[in-house]
């Protein structure tokens, strides 16, 4: 049997979820307090995990190895399939672009020489080869390296917490309960959107050897549990160390030292190796849009009768090379000319992340779960379908609520 192992799939999914957002967790706890901050983290992890589970369920209704948001939308909401792929492409492209901008901001400070332009251009030496891999599984070793960088930052935060060596001048007050309602709304997106990894879930499903729901559930459980524990540990420990004086990136709070410099370098390494993980789903979605544009659009009625071959979106070698080159060129051209686009990225995250993490998986589950087309051995592994359908609808509603709160936080509160 060929394909990705369960271990490599778990590593890639875990790394997709855990990104630079973890460094802002103490800042979120500053507004929420210990109790609510921990509770929101648990809720966010649970709902994100359920969204990943619904993607695994939905993948059973398309040809094995060809699950994408586009293919499943063709089975459920065909008239909206290209719209959702556009949202996914924009979201992944925007996040990837922010990584390149961050590389340009971080490395001149960490290394001590060179300009932001120099380091962005030099990052091509890493990103071009990694983005040229067709399979996500090919990135498992870089994901391990990135997880090593994350482990170092985790140990840095926890180490200072255990030693309790933060200077008194940097310490602020802590609280068990939220400080203000506006503070809860302003930091809510930080925690909820930190668990976004759904853009690569279908690729993980397509490439993994054992595609049973039981095995995929194991992969999801390990990835989500690891993320929850990491976010809780960094959030609680970082908040304890600095209290209400903590800022958005906790690493910059520590006194200048070699240990701290290595931590800052770890951030740059993690971000650099995260770019290909955003590039991969972006390329898939752009290819889906290209496929839709060059094919004769079908009416919703006709699309609902699609056969299996119509759900398979081809990605030839030529198309793959062209899309890779165009998207890389666009990403780097914008990264070299843009220094900050926080507002646009926040809006894209509020709409794109909530769509692929909650709304779409919830709608897929509500529409597909219960269709009597699966093998008996698979059906026996499932939770009661009626319960899953109700929870799927609840997840979609939760996604709409999260989107509204995130947009309110961005546009009204200015966070």
pLDDT score of 383: 53
pLDDT per residue over 276-299, tens digit each?
999 999 999 999 888 888 875 554
How far is it, in rounded angstroms, from Cα 165 to Cα 255? 10
User: Residue 249: pLDDT band by 50, 70, 90 thresholds?
Assistant: confident
Q: Which residues pair with 4 in a beta bridge?
A: 208
User: Residue 304: pLDDT band by 50, 70, 90 thresholds?
Assistant: very low
CATH number of the domain residue 246 falls in? 1.20.1740.10
pLDDT score of 113: 85
Q: How far apart are the first and last CA of the chain?
A: 49
Q: Closest Cα partner for 22 from 197, 174, 171?
A: 197
How far is it, in rounded angstroms, from Cα 142 to Cα 144? 5
Give Cβ neighbours of residue 221 (< 8 Å, ≥ 6 apart): 49
- Is the predicted pLDDT of residue 267 greater than 80, yes or no? yes
Cβ-based neighbour number of residue 1 at 10 Å:
4
Give Cβ neighbours of residue 186 (< 8 Å, ≥ 6 apart): 31, 409, 413, 415
Phi, psi of 165 (to 5 degrees): -105, 15
Residue 65 region, left (φ>0) first, then alpha (ψ -120 to 50), else beta? left
Contact 71, 312 (CB under 8 A): yes
pLDDT per residue over 110-131, tens digit each?
888 889 999 999 999 999 999 9
In a domain, 1, yes or no: no
Contact 243, 170 (CB under 8 A): no
Specify the number of domains making up the chain. Answer: 1
pLDDT per residue over 335-361, tens digit each?
998 876 666 667 777 888 898 999 999
- Is the predicted pLDDT of residue 414 greater than 90, yes or no? no
Structural domain of 251: 6-411
* Burial call 36-46: b when 16+ CB within 10 Å, e when fewer: bbbebbeebbe
pLDDT score of 395: 97
Pick the residue with more confidence: 234 or 82? Answer: 234
Contact 236, 42 (CB under 8 A): no
- Is the predicted pLDDT of residue 394 greater than 60, yes or no? yes
pLDDT score of 94: 87
Contact 215, 381 (CB under 8 A): no
Task: Output the pTM of the full model.
Answer: 0.89
Pick the residue with more confidence: 294 or 237? Answer: 237
Three-state secondary structure string covering 36-54:
HHHHHHHHHHHHHHHHHHH
pLDDT per residue over 13-34, tens digit each?
999 999 878 888 999 999 999 9
- Is the predicted pLDDT of residue 308 greater than 60, yes or no? no
In a domain, 261, yes or no: yes
Mean pLDDT, residues 376-405 taken together:
80
Q: Is residue 16 packed enough to be buried (19+ CB in 10 Å), middle (13-18) or exposed (0-12)?
A: buried
How far is it, in rounded angstroms, from Cα 366 to Cα 72? 13
pLDDT per residue over 181-214, tens digit each?
888 888 888 898 889 999 999 999 999 999 999 9
Determine the distance from the C-alpha atom of residue 237 to the mean position of all C-alpha atoms in its chain, rounded to a whole number: 23
Provide the CB-side half-sphere exposure for 110 (13 A, CA).
21
In three-state secondary structure terms, 339 is coil
In a domain, 113, yes or no: yes
pLDDT per residue over 315-324, tens digit each?
888 899 999 9
pLDDT per residue over 47-73, tens digit each?
999 999 999 999 988 888 889 998 898
């Amino acid at each position: 049997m060929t394909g990705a192992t369960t271990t490599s799939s778990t590593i890639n999914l875990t790394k997709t979820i855990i990104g630079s957002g973890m460094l802002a967790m103490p800042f979120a706890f500053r507004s929420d307090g210990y109790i609510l901050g921990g509770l929101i983290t648990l809720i966010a992890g649970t709902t994100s995990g359920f969204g990943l589970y619904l993607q695994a369920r939905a993948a059973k209704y398309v040809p094995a190895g060809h699950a994408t948001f586009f293919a499943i939308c063709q089975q459920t909401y065909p008239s909206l399939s290209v719209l959702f792929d556009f949202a996914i492409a924009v979201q992944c492209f925007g996040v990837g672009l922010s990584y390149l901008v961050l590389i340009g901001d971080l490395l001149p400070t960490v290394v001590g020489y060179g300009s932001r332009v120099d380091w962005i251009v030099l990052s091509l030496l890493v990103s071009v080869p990694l983005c040229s891999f067709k399979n996500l599984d090919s990135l498992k070793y870089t994901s391990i390296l990135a997880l090593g960088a994350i482990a170092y930052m985790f140990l840095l935060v926890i180490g200072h917490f255990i030693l309790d060596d933060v200077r008194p001048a940097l310490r602020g007050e802590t609280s068990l309960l939220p400080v203000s309602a506006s503070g809860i709304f302003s930091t809510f997106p930080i925690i909820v959107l930190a668990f976004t990894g759904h853009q690569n879930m279908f690729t993980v499903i397509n490439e993994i050897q054992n595609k049973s729901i039981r095995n995929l559930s194991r992969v999801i459980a390990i990835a989500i549990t690891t993320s929850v524990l990491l976010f809780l540990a960094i959030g609680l420990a970082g908040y304890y160390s600095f209290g209400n004086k903590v800022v958005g990136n906790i690493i910059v709070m520590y006194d200048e030292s070699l240990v701290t410099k290595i931590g800052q370098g770890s951030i740059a390494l993690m971000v650099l190796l995260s770019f290909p993980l955003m590039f991969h789903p972006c390329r898939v979605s752009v290819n889906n849009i290209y496929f839709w544009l060059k094919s004769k659009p079908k009416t919703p009625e006709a699309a609902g009768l699609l056969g299996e071959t119509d759900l398979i979106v081809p990605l030839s070698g030529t198309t793959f090379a062209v899309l890779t080159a165009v998207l890389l060129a666009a990403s780097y051209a914008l990264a070299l000319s843009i220094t900050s686009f926080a507002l646009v990225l926040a809006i894209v995250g509020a709409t794109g992340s909530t769509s692929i993490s909650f709304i779409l998986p919830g709608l897929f589950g509500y529409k597909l779960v219960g269709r009597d087309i699966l093998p008996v051995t698979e059906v026996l592994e499932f939770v009661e379908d009626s319960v899953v359908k109700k929870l799927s609808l609840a997840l979609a509603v939760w996604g709409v609520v999260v989107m509204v709160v995130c947009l309110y936080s961005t546009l009204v509160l200015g966070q």
